Amino acid sequence: MNKIISFILIVIFLSSCSEYQKALKSEDLSVKNKVANAMYDKGKYNKALRLYEQIAPAYRGKPNAERLFYLYSKSYYNTKQYYLAGYQFESFASNYPKSEKREEAAFLSAECFYRLSPRYSLDQTDTDKALNKLQAFIDTYPDSEYLPKANEYVKELREKLEKKAFEIAKQYYTISDHRLEYNAALTALDNFISDYPGTPFKEEALFLKFSTAYKLAMNSVQYKKEDRLIFAKNAYATFTKFKSDSEFKNKADAMLATINQELQQFSK
C-alpha cells in the first residue's frame, strides 16, 4: 500500500512539473494564468511568480485582471521581495480603487516598507518612507481592521528613529575632547531632549548634558569658568529633578562636589 501511495504521489508531482513547464513555454496567456493560480494555491509562490511576471504586461490596466495583480503582489510578498511587493500593492490599490482588496493592498504596501526598515544604526530613509506610508494608510482607513497593527508598526519605527537620534547625540558626547566639541555635544543633546520630550533615553541624555557641561567648565579659560560652573550646576539640578534615584546619580554627585569646590574660589 505504501508503494502504491508513493507511486501516486510521484505521478502527481511529475504531472505538476510537466504542467508548469508547459505553461512557461506556452503562448496562451490564459493557460499561464490558470497554472500560475494553481501554483499560488499550492503555496509554490516562486513558480507562480515566474508565470505572473510573463503575463502581467499584457494584462496591465485591464479591469478583469484584478485577481491576477492581487496574487502577483502577494507572490512577491510571500517570497519576501518587499521592494517589489510594496510597489505592486501600491499600483494595485491605485488601479483598482473599487476592489474589496484595496484596503488590504494599501496596508500591505505600507507594511512592506516597514519590513525594509533597517536596524537603527543604519541609514533610516526606508524607515521615514514606511512611516509616511503607514500614516497615509491610517489617515485613509481610520476604521480599518489593520489599524492596530499599523499603529504598532508606527510606534516601533518612531522608537527606532528616536534611538538613532539619541545615538547620534551621544556620539557627539563620546568624541568631544575640547571646548568646540563640548559645545557641539551640548547642542546635540539639547536638540534631542527638545525633539523627544517623552523619550525613555531622557535620563541618560540629561546626565550626558550635565557631564558635558562639567567637562566644558573644568577645561574652561578662567574668565569664563564661573559662568560655566554655574551652568553645569543648573544642568545637575535639572537632571536630578527628573530622576532623583538615577543610576548615574553617584557619578553626578561626585562631579557636583568638584563644581562646588571650584566655585569657592569665586566667592572670596
Query: What local confidence, expressed as pLDDT, does residue 172 receive?
Result: 94
Q: pLDDT of 67-111, one tens digit each?
A: 999 999 999 999 999 999 999 999 999 999 999 999 999 999 999
Domain segments of the chain as ranges: 13-59, 76-175, 176-266
Cell of 185: 555635544
pLDDT digits (tens, 9 = 90+) for 16-46: 457 888 988 888 988 999 999 999 999 999 9
Residue range 76-175 forms a domain whose CATH class is: mainly alpha
Q: Does residue 173 carry a pLDDT above 50?
A: yes
- Does residue 11 surpass a pLDDT of 80? no
In the chain, alpha helices (H):
2-25, 29-41, 45-59, 66-78, 82-95, 102-116, 125-140, 147-175, 179-195, 202-218, 222-242, 249-263
* pTM for this model (two decimals): 0.80
Question: Is pLDDT larger for residue 138 or for residue 15?
Answer: 138
Residue 63 has pLDDT above 90, yes or no: no
Question: What pLDDT sits at residue 179?
Answer: 73
Q: How far apart are CA 63 and CA 200, in angstroms?
A: 50
Question: How much is the pLDDT for 24?
Answer: 85
Report how far apart, in Å, the C-alpha atoms of 80 and of each of 83, 109, 119, 214, 218 are.
9, 12, 17, 50, 54
pLDDT digits (tens, 9 = 90+) for 218-247: 999 899 999 999 999 999 999 999 999 999
In this prediction, residue 14 carries a pLDDT of 44
